[in-house]
Amino acid sequence: MLNLSDTEEILAIIIAVAIIIGFVFSTYKEIQSTIAEEKAKQREKKETEAKVKTLIKYLEAKTELIDAVNKVTKKEGKSSQ
């Protein structure tokens, strides 16, 4: 079995604690970056949905306008005959 002096044992414990702290810190930073990415994706999704809703409203208004123009055109066509 390996016999370590008191100084070596303390040094080994300090190194082990430093490694564990480093692992915990890197994991914490990775979790933070993952959460930030997910929030950005959600924000982008909401913006895209808002743009799509606006586009749908625009297309519906355009369709109504075209229908109104066609209706007026048909009335004028019937009245001129």
pLDDT tens by residue, 49-75? 999 999 999 999 999 999 999 999 888
For residue 16, the number of C-alpha atoms closer than 13 Å in the C-beta half-sphere is: 6
pLDDT of residue 75: 83
Confidence of residue 6 (pLDDT cuts 50, 70, 90): confident
For residue 24, what is the DSSP state? H
Q: Is the dihedral of CA 56, 59, 64, 65 positive or negative?
A: positive
